[in-house]
C-alpha cells in the first residue's frame, strides 16, 4: 500500500472525548472515528488490525475443532421467552419493530439461537461433540458507553457454543477452548491471566475469564504471586482471622442516640470495633425480605450472594420495606431474636461472641451478642468481598488486587438451554438426554483495543507484528520521482511485498520529522528509513518500533526485515 493512496488521518492533538491511552491512540493514529457515543467506524488501518485479530481467532478456533457458522443478528423475542431470559435481559436489549409493529431483538448473545438450531438437527449421540462459533457484531444497550471500543453499544464478538453427551465430555470441550484462548491471546501479543470467574446463580466452578492487567480495566482481580491463584473479585475467596469470641457474657441493650453507622458505634463512648460488630442488611429476595449478616468491617459481595441464594432476583430493600420487616430504621437493625425472616450469614461470623448489633429499636443497640445463642442463622456462606492483604486460601500469602480488562470468557453452561429448547439426543442405551453445553466468548474489538492499552509508549502504539495494520513502513526521505532514494524505496517495496510482508510505502511529500512522528504514532513494527546521505554509503536505516536505529546494507535490508519479523 502507498500512504498517499490510503486514508490515515492522524491527529496531533488528543481528542477531548478520550479518557484512556488506548482510546486516545486509536483516534490519534487514524484507526477509528466516533459516530456518536459507543459507536465507531473502523478506518482502513483500524480495519486491517481488526481483521488480523479475527484471523488469529479463526485459525485457533478451527484448530481446536470448532466449526464456523453465521447466525442472524436479529432475533425473535419468543426464543428469549423460551429460555426464561426475556425479563432478566431487558436491561441490555436493543429492540426493533417491523412494519407490523412486531418486536425484534438485536442479538447481545446467541445461546437461544444456536440451541434452537441444534434442537432441530440433533438426534443421536453419534453427532456429538459439536462446537459452533461465529464472529459477528453484537448489540448491547450500554447505559454508559465509554473508553472507545472497550464498552460500546455495538461490538464484534467471537462466540462459540459446545454440545456434548456428558459432563465429562463437556469438560474436555471446555479445556480445549481454554487452551485455544491462551494461544489466541498469546499470538495477539497480549499478556493475559486466566482467572476463576463467578458462575452467577449456576452451580459449578467451570468459568474462567481471560484478563489483561491494566489500571484502566473495569474488573478487579484478586491474585496470589506465590501460588498463582487468581479470581475475579466477584468470586475470590480469602482467609480471614476468625471473629473474636473472647467475652461472651449476657446480652445487654444500651442507648445509642444518633448512632447510624458502623463507624459511629466504633467511636467513644461505645468503642465497639467494626470487626466486633454485625452488619445487618435487608434484601428483597424474589420480593420477600431476608437478612444478610456480615462483619462490620466487611463488605457484602452480591455476586456471591446470588450464588448462595440461587437466584439473581434480589435487591437492597427500600426504607419502607426495611421498617415493615424489622420495625426500625437503618442504623439500628439487627437479627437477634428474629424468627420470621430468613437469615443468611457470612462464614467469618461463625462462632462469634461478645458482638454488637442493632436492637431493631431506633436509638438502641445490643452488646454481648453470641451468634449461636442469639441469632437463628438459616444459612452460612462465603458472602464477603475479599480484600488486598488477606491470606490466600491456597498458600497463606497475602492476596493482591489489581484492575484488568476482560477480553475472553469460557463458561460451562450445563443443560439449562438444551432442556429449555429440547436439544436432546438418544444415548447408546436409547435414552433421551439433553446435550451438555458450554459457551465461550471473545470480545474481538475489545481485544484489539486491549493490545493498544498494553503496547504503547509516549510516542504512540507499539503493535505486535501479528496484529499490526502493516508490519513494515518504508520511509523515503525524498520522494522525487526517478531519484535514487525513491528508486530504492520502490525496489524494496516490491521485494518485501513479493516475500509476503505487509508493507506500506510512505510516498508523501512531507518533512522527515512528520513522517517519522506518524510512523511512531501508528506504531508499525519496523521502519526502514531511506535517505540520500545513508544511501551514499550504500545503507538504509532500520528501526524496530521502540528499539534503536541500525544501519544495514541496502541489499541486505529485505532479509534483515524478514528476520526481525520472524522473531
Distant-in-sequence, close-in-space partners of 506: CB < 8 Å, separation ≥ 6: 3, 473, 474, 475, 476, 515, 518, 519
Q: How far is CA 214 from the centre of its chain?
A: 11
What percent of the residues of the chain are helix, what percent strand, and what percent coil, each to the nearest 5?
A: 30, 30, 40
**Min separation Cβ 403 and Zn ion, Å:** 20
The answer to whether 155 touches 92, Cβ cutoff 8 Å, is no
The answer to whether 407 touches 210, Cβ cutoff 8 Å, is yes
Stated length of the chain: 567
Tell me the site size for Zn ion, rule CB under 5 A: 7
**Min separation Cβ 231 and Zn ion, Å:** 11
**Min separation Cβ 390 and Zn ion, Å:** 11
Task: Give the nearer residue to Zn ion in terms of CB position, either 394 or 431.
Answer: 394
Give the x-and-dash track for 370-399 against Zn ion (CB under 5 A). Answer: ----------------------x-xx----
Distant-in-sequence, close-in-space partners of 270: CB < 8 Å, separation ≥ 6: 254, 256, 259, 264, 356, 365
Select the residue interacting with Zn ion from 35, 39, 227, 388 (CB under 5 A): 227
Radius of gyration from C-alpha coordinates of the chain: 30
Residue 264 CB-density burial (10 A; 0-12 exposed, 13-18 middle, 19+ buried) = middle
Stretch that binds Zn ion, among 106-114, 226-234, 257-265, 381-389 (CB under 5 A): 226-234
Stretch that binds Zn ion, among 220-228, 265-273, 285-293, 528-536 (CB under 5 A): 220-228
C-alpha grid cell, residue 526: 519496523
3-state secondary structure of 276: helix
**Min separation Cβ 194 and Zn ion, Å:** 15
Residues 426-445 that bind Zn ion (CB under 5 A): none
**Min separation Cβ 225 and Zn ion, Å:** 8
Residue 23 CB-density burial (10 A; 0-12 exposed, 13-18 middle, 19+ buried) = buried
Residues 229-288 that bind Zn ion (CB under 5 A): 229
Task: Give the nearer residue to Zn ion in terms of CB position, either 163 or 223.
Answer: 223
**Min separation Cβ 213 and Zn ion, Å:** 17
**Min separation Cβ 393 and Zn ion, Å:** 8
Task: Give the nearer residue to Zn ion in terms of CB position, either 227 or 255.
Answer: 227
Task: Give the nearer residue to Zn ion in terms of CB position, either 231 or 290.
Answer: 231
Distant-in-sequence, close-in-space partners of 13: CB < 8 Å, separation ≥ 6: none
Task: Give the nearer residue to Zn ion in terms of CB position, either 338 or 392.
Answer: 392
Among 179, 196, 137, residue whose Cα is nearest residue 446 = 137
Task: Give the nearer residue to Zn ion in terms of CB position, either 229 or 417.
Answer: 229
Task: Give the nearer residue to Zn ion in terms of CB position, either 276 or 402.
Answer: 402
Give the x-and-dash track for 472-511 against Zn ion (CB under 5 A). Answer: ----------------------------------------
Task: Give the nearer residue to Zn ion in terms of CB position, either 226 or 271.
Answer: 226
Q: Is the dihedral of CA 47, 52, 55, 61 positive or negative?
A: negative
Task: Give the nearer residue to Zn ion in terms of CB position, either 66 or 231.
Answer: 231
Task: Give the nearer residue to Zn ion in terms of CB position, either 225 or 252.
Answer: 225
**Min separation Cβ 251 and Zn ion, Å:** 40
Task: Give the nearer residue to Zn ion in terms of CB position, either 175 or 226.
Answer: 226
**Min separation Cβ 237 and Zn ion, Å:** 11
Identify whether 269 is preceded by a cis peptide bond (ω within 30 of 0). yes
**Min separation Cβ 382 and Zn ion, Å:** 17
3-state secondary structure of 275: helix
**Min separation Cβ 230 and Zn ion, Å:** 9
Stretch that binds Zn ion, among 171-179, 218-226, 269-277, 550-558 (CB under 5 A): 218-226
Task: Give the nearer residue to Zn ion in terms of CB position, either 222 or 420.
Answer: 222
Task: Give the nearer residue to Zn ion in terms of CB position, either 227 or 388.
Answer: 227
**Min separation Cβ 400 and Zn ion, Å:** 10
Among 442, 416, 272, 297, residue whose Cα is nearest residue 354 = 272
Task: Give the nearer residue to Zn ion in terms of CB position, either 236 or 535.
Answer: 236
- Which residue pairs from 312-315 have beta carbons closer than 8 angstroms and sit at least 24 positions apart in sequence? 312/88, 312/200, 312/201, 313/88, 313/285, 313/286, 313/287, 314/283, 314/284, 314/285, 314/286, 314/290, 315/283, 315/284
Task: Give the nearer residue to Zn ion in terms of CB position, either 359 or 392.
Answer: 392
Q: Does 224 bind Zn ion (CB under 5 A)?
A: yes
**Min separation Cβ 394 and Zn ion, Å:** 4
Residues 187-206 that bind Zn ion (CB under 5 A): none
Eight-class DSSP state of 556: G
In angstroms, the CA 316 to CA 366 distance is 23
What region, left, alpha or beta, does residue 32 occupy, with left being phi > 0 and alpha being psi -120 to 50 degrees?
beta
Alpha helices in 11-83 (DSSP H): 21-28, 44-63, 77-83
**Min separation Cβ 222 and Zn ion, Å:** 10
**Min separation Cβ 227 and Zn ion, Å:** 3
In angstroms, the CA 481 to CA 487 distance is 8
Q: What would the DSSP string read from start to end of 204-221?
A: SS-EEEEEEE-TT-SEEE
Eight-class DSSP state of 146: B
In angstroms, the CA 442 to CA 188 distance is 13
- Interacting residues with Zn ion (CB under 5 A): 224, 226-227, 229, 392, 394-395
Amino acid at each position: 500500500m502507498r500512504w498517499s493512496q490510503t486514508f490515515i488521518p492522524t491527529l496531533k492533538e488528543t481528542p477531548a472525548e478520550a479518557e484512556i491511552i488506548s482510546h486516545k491512540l486509536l483516534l490519534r493514529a487514524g484507526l477509528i472515528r466516533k459516530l456518536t457515543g459507543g459507536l465507531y467506524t473502523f478506518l482502513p488501518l483500524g480495519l486491517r488490525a481488526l481483521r488480523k485479530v479475527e484471523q488469529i481467532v479463526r485459525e485457533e478456533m478451527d484448530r481446536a475443532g470448532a466449526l464456523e457458522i453465521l447466525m442472524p443478528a436479529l432475533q425473535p423475542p419468543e426464543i428469549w421467552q423460551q429460555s426464561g431470559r426475556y425479563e432478566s435481559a431487558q436491561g441490555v436489549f436493543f429492540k426493533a419493530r417491523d412494519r407490523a409493529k412486531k418486536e425484534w431483538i438485536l442479538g447481545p448473545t446467541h445461546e437461544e439461537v444456536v440451541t434452537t438450531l441444534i434442537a432441530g438437527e440433533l438426534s443421536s449421540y453419534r453427532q456429538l461433540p459439536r462446537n459452533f462459533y461465529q464472529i459477528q457484531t453484537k448489540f448491547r444497550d450500554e447505559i454508559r458507553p465509554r473508553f472507545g471500543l472497550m464498552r460500546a453499544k455495538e461490538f464484534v464478538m467471537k462466540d462459540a457454543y459446545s454440545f456434548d453427551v456428558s459432563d465429562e465430555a463437556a469438560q474436555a470441550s471446555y479445556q480445549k477452548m481454554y487452551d485455544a484462548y491462551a494461544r489466541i491471546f498469546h499470538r495477539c501479543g497480549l499478556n493475559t491471566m486466566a482467572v476463576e470467574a463467578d458462575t452467577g446463580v449456576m452451580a459449578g466452578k467451570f468459568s474462567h475469564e481471560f484478563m489483561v492487567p491494566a489500571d484502566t480495566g473495569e474488573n478487579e482481580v484478586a491474585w496470589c504471586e506465590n501460588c498463582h491463584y487468581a479470581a475475579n473479585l466477584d468470586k475470590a475467596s480469602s482467609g480471614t482471622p476468625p471473629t473474636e469470641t473472647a467475652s461472651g457474657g449476657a446480652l445487654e441493650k444500651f442507648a445509642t442516640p444518633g448512632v447510624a453507622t458502623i463507624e459511629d458505634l466504633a467511636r467513644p463512648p461505645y468503642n465497639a470495633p467494626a470487626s466486633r460488630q454485625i452488619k445487618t442488611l435487608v434484601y428483597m429476595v424474589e420480593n420477600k425480605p431476608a437478612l444478610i449478616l456480615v462483619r462490620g468491617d466487611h463488605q457484602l459481595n452480591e455476586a456471591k450472594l446470588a450464588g448462595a441464594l440461587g437466584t439473581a432476583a434480589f435487591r437492597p430493600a427500600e426504607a419502607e420495606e426495611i421498617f415493615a420487616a424489622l420495625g426500625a430504621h437503618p442504623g439500628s437493625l439487627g437479627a437477634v431474636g428474629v424468627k420470621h425472616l430468613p437469615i443468611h450469614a457470612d462464614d467469618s461470623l461463625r462462632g462469634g461472641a461478645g458482638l454488637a448489633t442493632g436492637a431493631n429499636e431506633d436509638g438502641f443497640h445490643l452488646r454481648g451478642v453470641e451468634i449461636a445463642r442469639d441469632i437463628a442463622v438459616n444459612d452460612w456462606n462465603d458472602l464477603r468481598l475479599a480484600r488486598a492483604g488477606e491470606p490466600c486460601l491456597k498458600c497463606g500469602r497475602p492476596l493482591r488486587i489489581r484492575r484488568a480488562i476482560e477480553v475472553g470468557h469460557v463458561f460451562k453452561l450445563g443443560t439449562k438451554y438444551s432442556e429449555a429448547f429440547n436439544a436432546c439426543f438418544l444415548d447408546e442405551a436409547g435414552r433421551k438426554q439433553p446435550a451438555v453445553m458450554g459457551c465461550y466468548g471473545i470480545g474481538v474489538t475489545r481485544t484489539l483495543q486491549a493490545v493498544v492499552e498494553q503496547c504503547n509508549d509516549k510516542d504512540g502504539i507499539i503493535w505486535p507484528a501479528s496484529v499490526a495494520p502493516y508490519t513494515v513502513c518504508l520511509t523515503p526521505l525524498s520522494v522525487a520521482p526517478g531519484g535514487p532514494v525513491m528508486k530504492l524505496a520502490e525496489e524494496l517495496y516490491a521485494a518485501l511485498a513479493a516475500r509476503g510482508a505487509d508493507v506500506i510505502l510512505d510516498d508523501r511529500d512531507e518533512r522527515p520529522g512528520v513522517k517519522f512522528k506518524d510512523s511512531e504514532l501508528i506504531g508499525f513494527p519496523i521502519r526502514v528509513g531511506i535517505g540520500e546521505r545513508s544511501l551514499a554509503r550504500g545503507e538504509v536505516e532500520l528501526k524496530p518500533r521502540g528499539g534503536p536505529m541500525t544501519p544495514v546494507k541496502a541489499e541486505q535490508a529485505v532479509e534483515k526485515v524478514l528476520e526481525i519479523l520472524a522473531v
